[in-house]
Amino acid sequence: MSTARQRFLSDFQTRLGMAGILLLLLPAVFAPLLVNGRPLLACDLDGRWSLPFFRFLFAPDSSEKVVEQLFNYGMLLLPLWWLLRRHYKLLTVAAVLLLLPFVLTKSKLDKTDYRQQNYRWSVFAPIPYGPYEIVGTPYGKPDRKHYLGLDNVGRDVGSRMIYGARSSLAVGLIATAIALVIGTVVGMLIGFYRGIYDLAAMRIIEILLCFPTFLLLLILMSMLRDYKFEQSILIVIAIIGLTGWIGLAILVRGEVLKQRPLGYIQSCLVTGLPTRRILFYHLLPNISGPILISFTFGVAGSIMAESSLSFLGFGVQPPTPSWGALLSQAFDNPLSYWHLMFFPGVALFLAVLSFNITGEGLRKALIVR
């Protein structure tokens, strides 16, 4: 494994891909510190200090509350992990306790324009506009106040780009993880038991393969959109995750069929080890390489699927920011609204390219010819 890690890290393209992923992931995780209409630290005229943004880390004023809380939890957990990374029990306790304010803090509607408040001293985020605030005229071009311009209702594109990264990465990572778990379990079971189970499962998988995946996504999203779910990102994650496991199941089945006749599996069967232990303690580590590679490529595919659905209006629903939704706002006049086409397009290009390059690096490192 150390040799594979050395091969992985020694490749220049792989390092470039990892840098691209971090370039997307870190702003998404630390979005409240980079984009916020509330002061990060303020001192009023009476000399009282406050953190106006802090409460909304635990109870975001967003329709996609679950995803926002997940990223905010990660942002607060990272410093704890850095401080307590050598004390696993203490880190576990701290991680559990950190969940309490996310559960106990109630949502609060706050429409205060903090930029107009009189402070003795205050510190704002680099982009002092929230992703849902209307701060200018629609389709405003990039300038010194709004570096990436304004969208179709006058919201800052820079703030919506950073929060849109949360939407894209949440769908890409979580949906692909769901597909990975389902595909791995199904592929291992049908490959291990073979016989009638393999025959029946493969016929079902072949039927599912007959449906165009993106068309199936459109149909399911259009059906569920009529119910007006507030947590639209969760619906997109569930749909993409539950429809994206088929190819991985076929891949895992093939790997299991290659490993099953080998001596170490036969010795496990002869000694009477439980099937669960054979599958997850002996077989899974030996087929994990192709699974990890497939996961990396799958994240890129899920990000593209989410952006395509949002572009067509079937994905993440307004006012939640999404790169695909920003692209759709430039559809009427791409040349005049070039900033709504260029910046989300570049972000999508970098995201897909970074994950694909990283997946190729994993393939080179883990599959030795």
Q: Model confidence over 335-346: pLDDT tens digits?
A: 899 999 999 999
pLDDT value of residue 227? 66
pLDDT value of residue 75? 95
pLDDT value of residue 347? 94
pLDDT value of residue 206? 87
pLDDT value of residue 230? 55
pLDDT value of residue 188? 92
The tokens of 365 are what? 């490192």
Rounded Cα distance between 178 and 37, Å, is 34
pLDDT value of residue 369? 46
In tens, the pLDDT along 226-280 reads 666 556 788 888 888 888 899 899 999 999 999 988 888 888 888 888 888 988 8
pLDDT value of residue 127? 93
In tens, the pLDDT along 34-68 reads 999 999 999 888 888 989 899 999 999 887 888 99
Q: What angle do CA 344, 170, 128 make, to 5 degrees?
A: 55
Q: How confident is the model at residue 155 (pLDDT cuts 50, 70, 90)?
A: very high
pLDDT value of residue 85? 85
pLDDT value of residue 120? 86
Q: Residue 208 burial (CB < 10 Å; 0-12/13-18/19+)?
A: middle
Report the 10 Å Cβ neighbour count for 104.
9
> Where are the alpha helices (H) located in the chain, listed in sequence order?
2-10, 12-29, 31-34, 55-58, 65-84, 88-104, 157-170, 176-193, 195-209, 213-225, 232-243, 246-259, 263-270, 275-277, 288-312, 323-329, 338-366
Rounded Cα distance between 270 and 240, Å, is 40
DSSP classification of residue 317: P
Cis peptide before 39, with omega less than 30 degrees from 0? no
Res 98 pLDDT > 80: yes
Average pLDDT over residues 205-220: 81
- What domains does the chain contain, in order, with CATH numbers? 38-124 (no CATH), 159-366 (1.10.3720.10)
| pLDDT mean across residues, the chain | 88
Whether the CB-CB separation of 304 and 322 falls below 8 Å is answered with no
In the chain, the largest separation of any two C-alpha atoms, in whole Å, equals 79
pTM to 2 decimal places:
0.90
The tokens of 16 are what? 């470039």
